[in-house]
Structure 1
């Protein structure tokens, strides 16, 4: 850590793994799958109590209304948990936003519910890397930063629905991101220290297809098979894949008994455009495929959904932020590289507000979204020191393109 000033060394010296790991284990023991509203509420209260140690205002914000298509093709409301917001020095001229999420992909009934150690450094457990370890080290980094005569203001936003697209928190993210100097998001880094660079956009859609029922043996020709139409639409959409644009037909719901021509099917699909221009191409592909299938199969199709996470390109300001963070990592003796990824996160939403964002500031780990998820415990204190140093240097230097 020879690149640190004496003041920086003194600031970072008290950081220890113990408190960060203790919080991580306690928080990972709470099932907070997005739809487990009791678990998400319990997690929100734990976080609110913990982040109250910062010198700011702590509040829990109600989620915005969200609707989705149910298995009968109707729109229905989907409940979400409240989102945590902490505002520190809101009067400061220069302010930063730090974001994370309290929800995980593991439902209340999922068998993966407990932690165990694979070796002295590798903690296997639900949400340890994605991102309860990240939330814990973020807090430790901010507590450490607060010991260094800080002047920078910041907002912390921890939402309850990131794993399902942040639909109930997108407006809150956009509101808090406005005018910020920089943004840090605590998605996990890879075990070798790699961080996400550019990201594609992402959109989730449901095409509700209405045909006409008929007896499958007596008069099938009078029917209009919605399942066959959904299959045709899925194939047409999948054929639209190209460089920089992935289209994934993921699930078909609906159908009818075997002796009935089905009059309802719902095709769920995801698309990921690398650029806004590819997003426009994808929308044209969807519209043309729907029009063709509707005519060929004599069915009606209603589309819901949108690109809710815009593509995240890399500009001059983001390059400068990475330069500051990578220099801090080097001065701390931490490995760090930067590469494009196919995943998406709240960093996409923040970047769309014109704010430079580095969105893999969390714990190092892997196999996320699976029962093999793990976190490297040694990254907890390392990344907490990185957070504190980055905040300290943003305070003293800003981001210089």
Structure 2
């Protein structure tokens, strides 16, 4: 494995030092000095598989991070979940004070890479890129939080602050609403939330992101000899499923921020589906009219109102059955949407000011259609929220996932200054 030294860059400071306070310049210098150990720790946690269902791996990564928080004066605890959820649990680190805003910082310990997949270890490709499982989504973001807090602690700037750090263990495949009960309760005791999912470079942050839910369409029809289709036996289940999906696309396909993807479709004489494995089987012949069809998909939306309006329209379409067919659709909630509110944009403006003060230029909001669902959305209705503050890179959720190692130090610096200014 080729190893390269990461440059220690003081980008922007010489041009805009007058815009930063003395404590802030000391924080940036501390972050730069700590970069070697920051990258060493990142490599260590990336090289531990923590796929959502690898509960031991998730807990191991959580323990390593808990040790780091405890060195910074945080009290840590592990939030266990019921065995029925088959999830590892969550790491919480807290400190209580009276100064400034009460912050809720969000990350997650798990990755999409389960233990059964080939291991892609942390590898330094060149002076600007490192690769590895979860290196930007989101172990890079978790380590960024620790590095920022570590620098503030070194300068005694965490004294008398109130910060809750909540790293979930099942963001990539949630154990359901029960898994987020404690998360929501603790967040509501704070004033605002900062989430450290992957950054889209230095110039963008996330003030809004779409929510996700799922839907299941089932169709039953008369079956019999194929020569009698369209006549006394009606249209069959597959034609009815095709009609419904076409109408979904035709009537709702152009609405901004709304998508509805049919990810699985099966049809035939009989249909079988296993929820545990997400596998489907069907039996049918070309000379038999299909008696059953099943479609499973997701629905993504920006607001709850948009979600409910789309669901109502989808139900109307489903109810207009072709002759001798009967369809039904059901919906399951997943992660709510995070509406881009003025309060969220107020946080973006503070990041924009810090970025300009650092000499890095303006920061704008990402188009919500470019972000998937995330943990921050569970609490967006209760407080101002900002996301996309973590590590930047490419290829998340793939074997080509990478970290931009030149931007990473600057993102740590920006996060540290944001936490500092919010807690003054």
Q: Scaled by the length of structure 2, what TM-score is found?
A: 0.79
1:307-322 aligned at under 5 Å gives the runs 308-315=335-342, 317-322=343-348
Residue 259 of structure 2 is matched in structure 1 by: 246
Residue 149 of structure 2 is matched in structure 1 by: 142
Change in Cα spacing, 1:257 to 1:375, as seen in structure 2 (3 Å) is same
Residue 387 of structure 1 is matched in structure 2 by: 415
The reply to whether residue 347 of structure 1 matches residue 376 of structure 2 is yes
CA contact (8 A) 1:225 1:262 kept: yes
Change in Cα spacing, 1:31 to 1:292, as seen in structure 2 (3 Å) is farther
CA contact (8 A) 1:113 1:125 kept: yes
Residue 140 of structure 2 is matched in structure 1 by: 133
SS in 1 for 2:328: strand
- Aligned partner (choices 154, 168, 190) of residue 159 of structure 1: 168
1:219, distance to aligned residue in structure 2 (A)? 9.4
Structure 1 residues 38-47 or 278-287, which shifts more?
38-47
Structure 1 residues 383-392 or 356-365, which shifts more?
383-392
Change in Cα spacing, 1:181 to 1:125, as seen in structure 2 (3 Å) is same
CA contact (8 A) 2:99 2:423 kept: no
The reply to whether residue 83 of structure 1 matches residue 94 of structure 2 is no
Whole-angstrom distance in 2 between the partners of 1:7 and 1:93: 16
Whole-angstrom distance in 1 between the partners of 2:235 and 2:209: 40
1:346, distance to aligned residue in structure 2 (A)? 2.1
Whole-angstrom distance in 2 between the partners of 1:231 and 1:54: 58
Q: Scaled by the length of structure 1, what TM-score is found?
A: 0.84
1:43, distance to aligned residue in structure 2 (A)? 2.4
1:232-311 aligned at under 5 Å gives the runs 232-239=243-250, 240-244=252-256, 245-252=258-265, 254-259=280-285, 265-293=293-321, 296=323, 298-299=325-326, 301=328, 303-306=330-333, 308-311=335-338
CA contact (8 A) 1:34 1:103 kept: yes
Whole-angstrom distance in 1 between the partners of 2:175 and 2:254: 27
CA contact (8 A) 1:227 1:255 kept: no
SS in 1 for 2:71: coil
Residue 176 of structure 1 is matched in structure 2 by: 186
CA contact (8 A) 2:98 2:161 kept: no
SS in 2 for 1:280: helix
1:185, distance to aligned residue in structure 2 (A)? 0.5
CA contact (8 A) 1:97 1:177 kept: yes
SS in 2 for 1:80: coil
Whole-angstrom distance in 2 between the partners of 1:219 and 1:30: 60
Work out which of the two has the higher radius of gyration on C-alpha atoms and give 1 or 2. 2
Residue 107 of structure 1 is matched in structure 2 by: 114
**Can you list the C-alpha shifts for 1:189-209, whole angstroms capped at 9, x where unaligned?**
1235422233233222233x2
Whole-angstrom distance in 1 between the partners of 2:44 and 2:361: 28
SS in 1 for 2:282: coil
Whole-angstrom distance in 2 between the partners of 1:393 and 1:257: 63
SS in 1 for 2:26: helix
Change in Cα spacing, 1:86 to 1:281, as seen in structure 2 (3 Å) is same
Whole-angstrom distance in 2 between the partners of 1:79 and 1:224: 42
SS in 1 for 2:368: coil
- Aligned partner (choices 220, 233, 236) of residue 211 of structure 1: 220
RMSD: 3.0
Change in Cα spacing, 1:180 to 1:190, as seen in structure 2 (3 Å) is same
1:1-12 aligned at under 5 Å gives the runs 1=13, 2=17, 3-12=19-28
SS in 1 for 2:309: helix
Change in Cα spacing, 1:262 to 1:80, as seen in structure 2 (3 Å) is farther
* Unaligned 5+ runs, structure 2: 1-12, 267-279
- Aligned partner (choices 63, 82, 92) of residue 81 of structure 2: 63
1:42, distance to aligned residue in structure 2 (A)? 2.7
Residue 117 of structure 1 is matched in structure 2 by: 124
Residue 45 of structure 2 is matched in structure 1 by: 27
Change in Cα spacing, 1:359 to 1:337, as seen in structure 2 (3 Å) is same
* Unaligned 5+ runs, structure 1: 66-76, 397-401
SS in 1 for 2:297: strand
Matched pairs, number: 381
